Chain A
Amino acid sequence: MNDFFKKALLVLLIFYLLSFAFFFLISILTFPSVSYLDIYFWRWVWDNSLHNFIDKIIPVHTTALLLLFSFTIYKVKISSIIIFFLLFTFFYTFLTEGIEPSILKRQHERAYSTELARKELENAEKALKEGRLEEASEYIFRYLHIDAENAEAKRIKEEIDKRMGKAPERDMQSITERFAKKEGYSAEDMTAIAKEYFENEDFLSAHYYATLALRLDETNQEAKRIASAAWKEIESFNESRKDERAKELFRRKKEGQTALLAGNPVKAYYIFNSLKDEYPEDPDIETFYALSLNKVQEVAFFTEEITTLEPLPGYNNIIFASKEEKYSEVFLIEKMISSQRGTFFFNIEVIGIDEEGGLAYHIRAPYGKLLHNSISIRCIHTNDPSESITPVSLAGKGEEVVRYIFSMPLTPDQIKDFRQTTFDDYNSKSILELLDLGKTLTVHGFQGEPALLAAVLRIVAPFTFILFSVLSMAAGIRGRSRGGLPHPISFFFLPGFPVIIYFILILYNYLLRIISGFLLFLTGFGITLFILIILNALMLSLPLRVIFEEGRL
């Protein structure tokens, strides 16, 4: 390693470390507790410091080179300079393309989790205050899913548990629960339960509990009477309904099979699901149940899948258009969550437009799921059809007023790109993702140029880094200190250097963006990129000329 490399690396390392330490300190002091939970403090500080460091690395790098060439190095070989600048350009590209996008993604997700968690805590407090303990418990569970160590949330949970524990326990459900837990029960208690079931015509359960009571106390006459009466009822029921039940079973199996064949798998599923519980040994039911379940999962999804996902962070305010055979559709999705179970949507709204530009349907649904090449908005309950969450038709005409399924050619990653973002949000994407996004935006109702422009600027960014490096070298050499070090007070103003250089950098980037935007509209992506690279090479020649003139290479 020659002298130049040693000095240059040392100076740059000092500047990099100082700037990172500065951003780290600033991040600690400016942690936005309004937008982030305390649990994210150190993670946010680290990522924010790194983000700021990468964002401002050119001014820091330029300042270091200005100092280096102003005071220390007078003559270096061209090969050393080329290797030096190339190494740091690779380092810069690694930071901007490899590290920066993932940092920004993480920060977005943390901000969203915070927003969600705070809403859950607020809901939990409100529900607790109003005595809705079950709901409060659900909200606090979701909050603790995100922030498990929060003292306030733990206190609320304890209070909820305490108050739920004090609830009246003399009802039938609590007795049976205690029985299930094998807690001390008297024969009288069992007899009371049996009597309750007998009155509700649940003779099997009545007989069961009466028998248990007799096991505890053989002399319990009431239990004997209930057991005997219940058994009689069971016997008579079996005798009188034996043929009718076979007929009924056959009829229901047939109904389920017809529904399945008629393309109504949801109806078929509910029929076979209820039959499965009643006739667990029936092989026909088992086969048709599995078949209907598979078919259901092709057109709908279960409430259980979605409720546990709600506390997780997702992507908000997604809007795009899609074209299918008959209709053009505009989708608005309030939130999208991707998990191992699949991709789910919350508060989804769809407008279908026919070929004449008329309204075919306008549907709103609380939940949706991305299935294979389609979006389903039919959310069904596992056992109870009345608990299913169905979409609402707001307007429309013809046969398609209510639809449950829409064709969807986009992948989850592509869908989330239709969030209404600003140009700077493209920084969280890689260049390849931006090029792909440019094409996708064009097909789904938007212009692809913003994404392509962001890609062009990202490709050109390493050239900007080299340009500023060479410029700073030329400026450092030409503006070298005359006759030794300047007054020490000058160094007091040194932290202002990166600020002024940052100002010049963003001005340069803005001008580059204007030129690139114009060229992109006028000529397209390839030619724009070519012209920009040529332009950068020309600009690079100016400081290089200065360096050659000064005889430093």
Chain B
Amino acid sequence: MFPYFYYNTILKRKYSEFIALSSLYMVGFVEVIKTFLLPVKFILHWFCVFTLIFFLQLFLFWTDSFIPGKGMLFDFAVSHFVYILFTSFPSSVIGTIVIFILRQKAYTENRLLSFLLLILTTCFIFFFGYINLNRAKKGRYPLITDRRIPFLSRHFHFLDDNLIYIEIVKNSSLRGIVIHERNNPPGLSFRESGEYISESSVLLMQPEGVAVEIPSESLFFPYLFGTEPFLGRFLEDVAFFNTDIQNLYNSSKRKFSLVILAGVLFSVSLRVFMRLTRWPVFNGIVIIFLFRLFFALYKIIQSELIIDISVSIFPVPRAFHLPAFFFFMVSLVFIAWDFLLAPGRSSSRSGRESLKR
């Protein structure tokens, strides 16, 4: 009787409690393990984003310097790999953070841990990537110059606002050149011959001896990859950010570190917006908007007007830390909101969880 009673009342109950407690610990353990897997996930995400941006930049570079009928110079493009990597790198890290936040289905239990891990991983990628890219840039991969003749017989060539038609292209010498200056009507003028000097990328036209500088971009497709203003401004802002980060790395490692840290902190702190409302679509749209705003603000803060104002308020060395300072301050507000004020898991369950309830 007793053992049966013991089993039925005390042991069974304790066993069930034990199972329940063990399950809870297991769940917690799995959450911790999951959190520690976060850097791995992030690096995989970054790798995908970076590869995509890198290849798009490479394609753009290739097509921009494409000469019809003369194929693609793979050596030429390969020699520019490091430079293309530089233009893809900073924005790819910031972009990955945003994509990563948007893809997070449920908010992890270990908010602080995941927050710290994300910042550490991002900073690691940034600093490690930059140091190695700069090493690679220093003479390991010499740039190959495209020495091909950028003209074709019986073709028009776009040169700034002008059009140049060439009848015969024989090596570097050209014959029968018709020029149409769009802004200088009435339109057509003729030059008997010309000589392309590939060392200096100059077209020397006879008989007057007029020299025209030939750009490295293709002379055949000037408007193929033009963007509308809405997108153009975004791409300009991103390009500004990428260039500025590189300049900071070359001029001052301290400034570079501060700006990187501020940028990473700002991007990671955006995750608080995933709990802004109970409607994740809305939250996602807000985060994309803030991502766009980040690049715009970065450029605005670096504008002459803002620098002048900051110089009049702060001492000169500190005034130039304004972007880092600004993004630090905004990030701190977001972080405080995230850890102190924003609601917990109730608004962040997955769709399936919510549906089951």
Q: Which residues of A contact B (CB under 8 A)?
A: 66, 70, 74, 317, 319, 321, 323, 328, 330, 332, 334, 347, 349, 351, 353-354, 356-359, 362, 364, 395, 420, 422-424, 445-447, 449-450, 453, 475-484, 486-487, 490, 493, 496-497, 500, 502-504, 506-507, 510-511, 513-515, 517-518, 521-522, 550-551
Contacts and interface: CB of A to CB of B under 8 A. Distances in A.
Nearest to B218: A447
B175 A356 contact: yes
A332 B278 contact: no
A513 B225 contact: yes
Interface in B117-173: 154-156, 163, 165, 167-168
B231 to A, nearest CB: 5
Contacts of A424: 226, 228
A357 B192 contact: yes
Contacts of B163: 319, 420
A490 B280 CA distance: 11
Interface of B: 56, 59-60, 62-63, 66, 68, 72, 105, 154-156, 163, 165, 167-168, 174-176, 178, 180, 182, 186-188, 190, 192-193, 220-221, 223-228, 230-231, 234, 277-286, 288-289, 292, 346-352, 354-355
Given A423-B226, A450-B223, A74 B355 contact: yes
Contacts, number: 179
A34 B82 CA distance: 48
A445 B165 contact: yes
Contact of B156 (A319, A511, A550): A319
Contacts of B231: 503, 506-507, 510
A356 B167 CA distance: 9
B351 to A, nearest CB: 5
Contacts of B66: 521
Contacts of A522: 72
Contacts of B155: 445-447
Interface majority SS (helix, strand, loop, mixed), chain A: mixed
Contact of B63 (A70, A74, A521): A521
B278 A496 contact: no
A353 B166 CA distance: 10
Nearest to A472: B281
B314 to A, nearest CB: 34
B181 to A, nearest CB: 11
Given A332-B187, A445-B156, A446-B220, 15 more contacts: A319-B163, A347-B186, A353-B167, A353-B178, A358-B175, A480-B280, A481-B281, A482-B278, A482-B348, A487-B277, A496-B289, A500-B288, A503-B292, A510-B231, A514-B59
Given A328-B154, A486-B282, A450 B221 contact: yes
A66 B281 contact: yes
A477 B279 CA distance: 11
A550 B352 contact: yes
A514 B285 contact: no
Given A332-B180, A356-B175, A480-B351, A423 B223 contact: yes
B63 A517 contact: yes
A536 to B, nearest CB: 16
Given A475-B281, A500-B289, A446 B156 contact: yes
Given A330-B188, A347-B186, A514-B59, A478 B351 contact: yes
A330 B234 contact: no
24 contacts: A332-B188, A353-B167, A357-B174, A357-B192, A359-B176, A422-B223, A423-B226, A445-B156, A450-B221, A450-B223, A478-B105, A478-B350, A479-B281, A479-B351, A480-B280, A480-B355, A481-B280, A500-B292, A510-B231, A514-B56, A514-B63, A521-B66, A521-B68, A551-B352
B176 A517 contact: no
Nearest to B349: A482
Given A351-B188, A358-B192, A330 B165 contact: yes
A493 B282 contact: yes
Nearest first, the 10 closest Cβ-Cβ pairs linking A and B are: A357-B175, A357-B176, A479-B281, A479-B280, A518-B59, A486-B279, A481-B279, A353-B176, A486-B277, A482-B278
Contacts of B168: 356-357
Contacts of A330: 165, 178, 188
B57 to A, nearest CB: 9
Given A496-B289, A507-B231, A550-B351, A515 B59 contact: yes
Contacts of B59: 514-515, 517-518
Most buried by A among B230, B285, B347: B285
Contacts of A347: 186
A458 to B, nearest CB: 15
B281 A506 contact: no
Contacts of B278: 481-484, 486
Contact of B354 (A395, A476, A480, A506): A480
A511 B227 CA distance: 11
A356 B227 CA distance: 41
Contacts of B289: 496, 500
A422 B282 contact: no
B230 A506 contact: yes
B225 A517 contact: yes
A504 B180 CA distance: 39
Contacts of B156: 319, 321, 445-446
A500 B165 contact: no
Contact of A447 (B192, B220, B347): B220
Nearest to B190: A359
Given A447-B68, A503-B230, A477 B351 contact: yes
A328 B167 CA distance: 8
Nearest to A320: B156
B230 A362 contact: no
Contacts of A450: 221, 223-224
A358 B277 contact: no
Contact of B167 (A332, A357, A420): A357
Given A479-B279, A490-B277, A518-B63, A323 B154 contact: yes
Nearest to A504: B288
Contacts of A319: 156, 163, 180
B282 A514 contact: no
Contacts of B220: 446-447, 449
A398 to B, nearest CB: 15
Most buried by B among A503, A510, A513, A551: A510
A449 B68 contact: yes
A449 to B, nearest CB: 7
A97 to B, nearest CB: 21
